């Protein structure tokens, strides 16, 4: 049986093991390769702009290209929203050219997921300090997505984000009204694990960073996304809002 190859660019360190669990549940099988890109353990805006450096991303994508991936994801929320809508699309074009494969990023995957579900208003739970959380909300606004509340959790870097658990996110959600879809940013967070615990208790969808990243990347690779861990996105077709004029697999091979 042919194995689909999914390349992931991840800043600072490897993504939580939950991404491997999703790949293992895919049919046909999916192989992952994570290439770590330059980053510091810092969620300040200057540090995030350094993480977003296109030269570092294209260097990582060129490493992935030799493996001939079927799709590539820049698996970082903050490193894709911090440059705004135009910058995120520039990142996408640079990664696709370097990897010779269709690509997405976590922030663009959030946009695609909301579009696929017909959602245009959200609550943004951001593990970051307030300036980065505000930048996430501003990015969503550039795509016409209304952010009714932004909840910064104050994690100073990815290592702190990785320690977040469902109890901390549930406490944050107590600060906002119920019934509005919730986004939980940051691929360093064990978001799919948190999703499994919290989503059944919420009145509206919960979308988390690793969930949307894998859903969109698998869609671009032509893999069936009917995977239970993807929650409300399981089996949902991806559109092309962030890929104007393109179709699935539209990058040059």
- Determine the Cα–Cα distance for residues 131 and 109; give it in Å rounded to an integer: 22
**For position 178, what pLDDT does the model report?**
80
Closest CA to 235 of 80, 87, 20, 27: 27
Tell me the per-residue pLDDT of 30-74, one tens digit each, with 9 for 90 and over. Answer: 999 999 999 999 999 999 999 999 999 999 999 999 999 999 999
> Tokens in use for 111?
């946009």
Tens of pLDDT, residues 88-145: 999 999 999 999 999 999 999 999 999 999 999 999 999 999 999 999 999 999 999 9
pLDDT at 87 over 80: yes
Q: What is the pLDDT of residue 252?
A: 31
H or E segment to which residue 30 belongs: strand 30-37
Burial class of residue 62 in the structure, from the number of CB atoms within 10 Å of its CB (0-12 exposed, 13-18 middle, 19+ buried): middle
Within a domain: residue 220?
Answer: yes
* Pair 138, 101 in one domain: no
Q: How far apart are CA 124 and CA 164, in angstroms?
A: 16
3-class secondary structure, 124: strand
- Establish if 154 belongs to a structural domain: yes
Choose the final residue of a domain: 207, 223, 246. Answer: 207
| Domain membership of residue 143 as a residue range | 110-207
Q: Are residues 84 and 49 in the same domain?
A: yes
Same-domain check for residues 52 and 72? yes
Report how many domains make up the chain: 2
Indicate if 99 and 120 belong to the same structural domain: no
Give pLDDT, residue 250: 42
Residues of 75-99 as b/e, b for ≥16 C-beta within 10 angstroms? bbbbbbbbbebebbbebbebbbbbb
Residue located via tokens 């967070």: 189
**Whether the Cβ atoms of residue 60 and residue 35 lie closer than 8 Å to each other:** yes
Asked whether residue 51 falls in the same domain as residue 102, the answer is yes
Question: Does residue 184 lie in a domain region?
Answer: yes
Residue among 82, 69, 79 at smallest CA distance from 32: 69
For residue 51, being part of any structural domain is answered with: yes
State the residue for tokens 């997505």: 145
In a shared domain, residues 165 and 97: no
pLDDT band at 176 (very low <50, low <70, confident <90, very high): confident
Whether 239 is covered by a domain: the verdict is: no
Statement to judge: residues 217 and 174 lie in one domain: no
Which pair of tokens denotes residue 132?
Answer: 């980065």
| In-domain check, residue 253 | no
| Same-domain status, 56 and 128 | no
pTM of the model: 0.96
Q: What angle do CA 197, 201, 205 make, to 5 degrees?
A: 90
CATH of the domain at 45: 3.40.50.12500
* Mean of pLDDT over the chain: 94
- Pair (114, 201) in one structural domain: yes
Regarding whether 114 and 46 lie in a shared domain, the answer is: no
53 and 169 part of one domain: no
Q: Which of 246, 199, 201 is nearest to 104 (CA)?
A: 246
Provide CB contacts within 8 A for 180, sequence distance 6+: 121, 122, 123, 148, 149, 204
Could you tell me which of 148, 80, 70, 149 has the C-alpha nearest to residue 111? 80
Write out the two tokens for 169: 């996110």
In a domain, 240, yes or no: no
* 238 within domain boundaries: no
99 plus 130 within the same structural domain: no
């Amino acid at each position: 049986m042919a194995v689909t190859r999914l390349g992931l660019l991840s800043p600072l360190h490897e993504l939580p093991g939950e991404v491997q669990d999703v790949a293992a549940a895919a049919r046909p099988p999916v192989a992952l390769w994570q290439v770590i890109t330059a980053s510091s353990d810092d969620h300040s805006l200057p540090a995030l702009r350094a993480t977003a450096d296109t030269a570092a991303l294209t260097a990582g994508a060129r490493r992935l290209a030799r493996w001939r991936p079927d799709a590539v994801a820049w698996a970082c929320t903050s490193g894709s929203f911090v440059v705004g809508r135009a910058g995120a699309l520039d990142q996408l074009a640079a990664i696709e050219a370097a990897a010779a494969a269709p690509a997405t990023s976590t922030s663009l995957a959030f946009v695609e997921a909301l579009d696929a579900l017909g959602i245009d208003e959200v609550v943004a739970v951001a593990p970051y300090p307030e300036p980065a959380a505000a930048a996430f909300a501003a990015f969503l606004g550039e795509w016409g997505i209304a952010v009714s509340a932004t909840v910064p959790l104050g994690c100073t870097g990815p290592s702190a984000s990785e320690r977040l658990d469902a109890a901390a996110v549930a406490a944050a959600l107590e600060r906002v009204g119920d019934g509005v879809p919730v986004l939980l940013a940051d691929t360093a967070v064990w978001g799919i694990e948190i999703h499994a615990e919290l989503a059944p208790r919420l009145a509206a969808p919960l979308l988390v960073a690793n969930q949307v990243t894998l859903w969109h990347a698998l869609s671009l690779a032509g893999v069936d996304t009917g995977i239970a861990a993807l929650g409300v996105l399981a089996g949902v077709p991806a559109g092309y809002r962030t890929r104007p004029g393109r179709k699935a697999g539209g990058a040059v091979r």
